[in-house]
Amino acid sequence: SPLINEYTEILSNTNDQKQKELLRHEIMVMSNYALSGEVVERQFYIMLWEKFEFGIEQELAKRAHEMVSKFENSNIRCEILKQQEIARLCNLINNPAYVYIEDQSFELTIPILNQD
């Protein structure tokens, strides 16, 4: 796939051992998807919010469009979700019948939040 080819090229051009490790793992995961016939598209969502006050919608819309512009300037496809897409995303995340197909291995950690 084009993504695996891109990762392979980056892998051959980097000297950073951590980056090599991450790329090898990602190539392996993507290859497993290709061999199993599963179609996978990774999507990431960023939520912007502010405390409600009069006119905040325009400020949030401005920030969202600025963020989209920055991603697209870096050749990363980005879009602002509409109300129906937001509802679909919430259902996807909160639906207990949904099972994520990516590797479920994890490490136990204790999160620590610092208050400034």
pLDDT for 99 equals: 47
The domain limits of the chain are 1-42, 44-96
User: For residue 28, how many other CB atoms are within 10 A of its CB?
Assistant: 12
Going residue by residue through the chain (116 aa), what tens digit of pLDDT does each one get? 777 888 899 999 999 999 999 999 988 888 887 676 666 667 788 989 888 899 899 999 999 999 999 999 988 889 999 888 888 888 777 766 654 544 455 555 666 666 65
Q: Mind giving me the DSSP string for 30-79?
A: HHHHHHHT----------------TTHHHHHHHHHHHHHHHHHHTT----
Tell me if the pTM is above 0.75.
no
